[in-house]
Amino acid sequence: DGGITQSPKYLFRKEGQNVTLSCEQNLNHDAMYWYRQDPGQGLRLIYYSQIVNDFQKGDIAEGYSVSREKKESFPLTVTSAQKNPTAFYLCASSMAPTTSSPLHFGNGTRLTVT
Amino acid sequence: GQQVMQIPQYQHVQEGEDFTTYCNSSTTLSNIQWYKQRPGGHPVFLIQLVKSGEVKKQKRLTFQFGEAKKNSSLHITATQTTDVGTYFCARTASKLTFGTGTRLQVTL
Protein backbone atom coordinates (compact mmCIF):
# COMPACT_ATOMS: atom_id res chain seq x y z
CA ASP A 1 0.00 0.00 0.00
CA GLY A 2 1.28 3.45 -0.86
CA GLY A 3 1.40 6.08 1.80
CA ILE A 4 3.33 8.43 4.02
CA THR A 5 5.09 7.17 7.11
CA GLN A 6 6.01 9.45 9.95
CA SER A 7 8.03 8.21 12.85
CA PRO A 8 7.95 8.14 15.74
CA LYS A 9 4.33 8.77 16.70
CA TYR A 10 5.33 10.33 20.03
CA LEU A 11 8.66 11.99 20.78
CA PHE A 12 9.94 13.47 24.01
CA ARG A 13 13.01 15.68 24.27
CA LYS A 14 14.71 17.93 26.74
CA GLU A 15 14.95 21.61 26.02
CA GLY A 16 18.13 22.56 24.18
CA GLN A 17 18.34 19.36 22.16
CA ASN A 18 17.88 19.14 18.42
CA VAL A 19 15.47 16.48 17.25
CA THR A 20 14.78 15.07 13.77
CA LEU A 21 11.35 13.89 12.65
CA SER A 22 11.22 11.33 9.90
CA CYS A 23 8.90 11.43 6.87
CA GLU A 24 8.99 8.82 4.10
CA GLN A 25 6.59 8.41 1.17
CA ASN A 26 6.25 5.69 -1.44
CA LEU A 27 3.64 7.49 -3.54
CA ASN A 28 6.25 8.73 -6.03
CA HIS A 29 5.11 12.27 -5.28
CA ASP A 30 7.32 15.18 -6.28
CA ALA A 31 6.26 17.66 -3.60
CA MET A 32 6.51 17.27 0.17
CA TYR A 33 5.49 19.55 3.03
CA TRP A 34 5.84 19.98 6.77
CA TYR A 35 3.04 21.53 8.81
CA ARG A 36 2.78 22.33 12.47
CA GLN A 37 -0.51 22.14 14.38
CA ASP A 38 -1.03 23.46 17.88
CA PRO A 39 -4.03 22.39 20.03
CA GLY A 40 -7.25 23.77 18.62
CA GLN A 41 -5.37 25.54 15.86
CA GLY A 42 -5.07 25.27 12.12
CA LEU A 43 -2.10 24.03 10.14
CA ARG A 44 0.88 26.30 9.57
CA LEU A 45 3.44 25.57 6.87
CA ILE A 46 7.03 25.17 8.02
CA TYR A 47 8.90 24.10 4.87
CA TYR A 48 8.06 22.61 1.52
CA SER A 49 9.96 20.97 -1.29
CA GLN A 50 8.77 20.75 -4.88
CA ILE A 51 11.70 18.71 -6.15
CA VAL A 52 14.71 16.81 -4.89
CA ASN A 53 17.57 18.95 -3.58
CA ASP A 54 15.37 22.03 -3.38
CA PHE A 55 13.13 23.40 -0.64
CA GLN A 56 11.51 26.68 0.39
CA LYS A 57 10.61 28.27 3.69
CA GLY A 58 6.98 28.33 4.67
CA ASP A 59 5.30 30.74 7.04
CA ILE A 60 7.04 29.63 10.26
CA ALA A 61 10.48 28.29 9.23
CA GLU A 62 12.51 29.88 12.04
CA GLY A 63 14.07 27.27 14.32
CA TYR A 64 13.56 24.44 11.81
CA SER A 65 15.66 22.89 9.07
CA VAL A 66 14.99 20.30 6.36
CA SER A 67 16.75 18.35 3.64
CA ARG A 68 15.51 16.66 0.48
CA GLU A 69 18.29 14.39 -0.70
CA LYS A 70 15.91 11.70 -1.93
CA LYS A 71 12.47 11.94 -3.51
CA GLU A 72 11.02 9.63 -0.87
CA SER A 73 12.35 11.37 2.22
CA PHE A 74 11.89 14.82 3.76
CA PRO A 75 13.18 14.88 7.36
CA LEU A 76 12.51 17.86 9.61
CA THR A 77 14.95 18.96 12.32
CA VAL A 78 13.57 20.96 15.20
CA THR A 79 16.52 22.91 16.53
CA SER A 80 17.10 24.37 19.97
CA ALA A 81 16.44 27.78 18.42
CA GLN A 82 12.74 26.97 18.07
CA LYS A 83 11.15 28.72 21.04
CA ASN A 84 7.97 26.66 21.36
CA PRO A 85 8.66 23.28 19.77
CA THR A 86 5.95 21.27 21.52
CA ALA A 87 3.32 20.60 18.86
CA PHE A 88 1.81 18.08 16.46
CA TYR A 89 3.90 17.83 13.28
CA LEU A 90 2.33 16.67 10.04
CA CYS A 91 4.16 15.68 6.88
CA ALA A 92 2.34 15.66 3.56
CA SER A 93 3.02 15.04 -0.10
CA SER A 94 1.34 15.85 -3.39
CA MET A 95 1.71 14.47 -6.88
CA ALA A 96 2.66 17.68 -8.60
CA PRO A 97 4.59 20.72 -7.43
CA THR A 98 1.57 22.92 -8.11
CA THR A 99 -0.83 22.78 -5.23
CA SER A 100 -3.79 21.92 -7.41
CA SER A 101 -3.01 18.36 -6.38
CA PRO A 102 -4.52 17.21 -3.10
CA LEU A 103 -2.25 16.64 -0.13
CA HIS A 104 -1.79 13.22 1.39
CA PHE A 105 -0.86 13.38 5.06
CA GLY A 106 1.05 11.08 7.35
CA ASN A 107 -0.28 10.19 10.79
CA GLY A 108 1.84 12.86 12.44
CA THR A 109 4.41 13.05 15.23
CA ARG A 110 3.52 14.57 18.60
CA LEU A 111 6.64 16.25 19.94
CA THR A 112 6.87 17.24 23.59
CA VAL A 113 9.84 19.27 24.77
CA THR A 114 10.32 19.83 28.49
CA GLY B 1 0.91 35.42 4.51
CA GLN B 2 -2.56 35.86 3.10
CA GLN B 3 -5.02 34.31 5.48
CA VAL B 4 -8.12 32.30 4.85
CA MET B 5 -10.70 32.81 7.58
CA GLN B 6 -13.30 30.25 8.50
CA ILE B 7 -16.45 30.73 10.51
CA PRO B 8 -17.61 29.57 12.89
CA GLN B 9 -14.60 28.35 14.87
CA TYR B 10 -16.74 25.80 16.64
CA GLN B 11 -20.26 24.43 16.31
CA HIS B 12 -22.13 21.93 18.41
CA VAL B 13 -25.22 20.36 16.86
CA GLN B 14 -27.69 17.62 17.67
CA GLU B 15 -27.55 14.62 15.39
CA GLY B 16 -29.86 15.20 12.43
CA GLU B 17 -29.36 18.97 12.35
CA ASP B 18 -27.63 20.66 9.43
CA PHE B 19 -24.21 22.30 9.61
CA THR B 20 -22.44 24.89 7.48
CA THR B 21 -18.91 26.25 7.58
CA TYR B 22 -17.79 29.26 5.57
CA CYS B 23 -14.39 30.08 4.17
CA ASN B 24 -13.54 33.67 3.25
CA SER B 25 -10.56 35.20 1.52
CA SER B 26 -9.69 38.83 0.89
CA THR B 27 -8.15 37.90 -2.46
CA THR B 28 -9.42 35.88 -5.38
CA LEU B 29 -8.76 32.17 -5.03
CA SER B 30 -7.58 30.09 -7.96
CA ASN B 31 -8.76 26.82 -6.44
CA ILE B 32 -9.94 25.79 -3.02
CA GLN B 33 -9.63 22.45 -1.33
CA TRP B 34 -11.51 21.05 1.67
CA TYR B 35 -10.14 18.63 4.26
CA LYS B 36 -11.55 16.82 7.30
CA GLN B 37 -9.52 15.98 10.37
CA ARG B 38 -11.00 13.55 12.87
CA PRO B 39 -10.00 14.03 16.54
CA GLY B 40 -6.48 12.73 17.01
CA GLY B 41 -6.10 12.09 13.29
CA HIS B 42 -4.62 13.74 10.26
CA PRO B 43 -6.36 15.84 7.59
CA VAL B 44 -7.97 13.91 4.77
CA PHE B 45 -8.74 15.49 1.41
CA LEU B 46 -12.44 15.81 0.62
CA ILE B 47 -12.73 17.83 -2.57
CA GLN B 48 -11.33 20.56 -4.79
CA LEU B 49 -13.35 23.41 -6.33
CA VAL B 50 -12.04 25.22 -9.37
CA LYS B 51 -14.78 27.07 -11.22
CA SER B 52 -16.64 30.19 -10.21
CA GLY B 53 -20.05 29.25 -8.77
CA GLU B 54 -19.20 25.56 -8.72
CA VAL B 55 -21.32 23.24 -6.59
CA LYS B 56 -20.28 19.69 -5.83
CA LYS B 57 -21.99 17.05 -3.71
CA GLN B 58 -20.71 14.04 -1.85
CA LYS B 59 -23.65 12.23 -0.27
CA ARG B 60 -24.77 14.56 2.56
CA LEU B 61 -21.97 17.09 1.93
CA THR B 62 -22.44 20.03 -0.44
CA PHE B 63 -19.51 22.23 -1.40
CA GLN B 64 -19.87 25.62 -3.06
CA PHE B 65 -17.40 28.06 -4.58
CA GLY B 66 -18.51 31.70 -4.70
CA GLU B 67 -19.14 33.53 -7.93
CA ALA B 68 -16.26 35.92 -7.21
CA LYS B 69 -14.02 33.02 -6.09
CA LYS B 70 -13.40 34.71 -2.77
CA ASN B 71 -15.44 32.42 -0.59
CA SER B 72 -16.55 28.85 -0.25
CA SER B 73 -18.85 26.83 1.95
CA LEU B 74 -19.36 23.27 3.11
CA HIS B 75 -22.87 22.23 4.12
CA ILE B 76 -23.67 18.94 5.83
CA THR B 77 -27.28 17.81 5.76
CA ALA B 78 -28.62 15.78 8.69
CA THR B 79 -25.37 15.44 10.60
CA GLN B 80 -24.29 12.13 12.08
CA THR B 81 -21.81 11.39 14.85
CA THR B 82 -19.36 10.24 12.19
CA ASP B 83 -19.20 13.85 10.95
CA VAL B 84 -17.38 14.93 14.10
CA GLY B 85 -14.05 16.57 13.39
CA THR B 86 -12.47 19.76 12.16
CA TYR B 87 -13.12 20.94 8.62
CA PHE B 88 -10.47 23.00 6.88
CA CYS B 89 -10.51 24.87 3.64
CA ALA B 90 -7.19 25.51 1.93
CA ARG B 91 -6.26 28.01 -0.73
CA THR B 92 -3.91 26.86 -3.46
CA ALA B 93 -1.12 29.02 -4.75
CA SER B 94 2.60 28.21 -4.86
CA LYS B 95 1.93 26.55 -1.53
CA LEU B 96 -1.20 25.38 0.22
CA THR B 97 -2.46 27.71 2.96
CA PHE B 98 -5.02 26.28 5.34
CA GLY B 99 -7.92 28.12 6.85
CA THR B 100 -8.38 28.37 10.59
CA GLY B 101 -10.79 25.43 10.64
CA THR B 102 -14.26 24.77 12.05
CA ARG B 103 -14.60 22.15 14.75
CA LEU B 104 -17.87 20.26 14.60
CA GLN B 105 -19.26 18.40 17.58
CA VAL B 106 -22.34 16.21 17.09
CA THR B 107 -24.29 14.76 19.97
CA LEU B 108 -27.19 12.33 20.07
CB-nearest to A105 from B42, B50, B99 is B42
CB-nearest to B43 from A58, A98, A105 is A105
Cis bond before residue A85 (omega within 30° of 0): no
**Residue B101 CA: distances (Å) to CA of A49, A109, B104:** 24, 20, 10
Which residue, B82, B103, B75, is CA-closest to B19? B75
CB-nearest to A102 from B45, B50, B94 is B45
pLDDT tens digits, residue range A6-50?
999 999 999 999 999 999 999 999 999 999 999 878 899 999 999
User: Going by DSSP bridges, is the β-strand pair A109-113/A10-13 parallel, antiparallel, or unpaired?
Assistant: parallel
Put simply, the answer to whether A103 touches B96 (Cβ < 8 Å) is yes
pLDDT tens digits, residue range B56-92?
999 999 999 999 999 999 999 999 999 999 999 999 8
Q: Which of residues 40-59 of A touch B (CB under 8 A)?
A: 40-45, 48, 56, 58-59
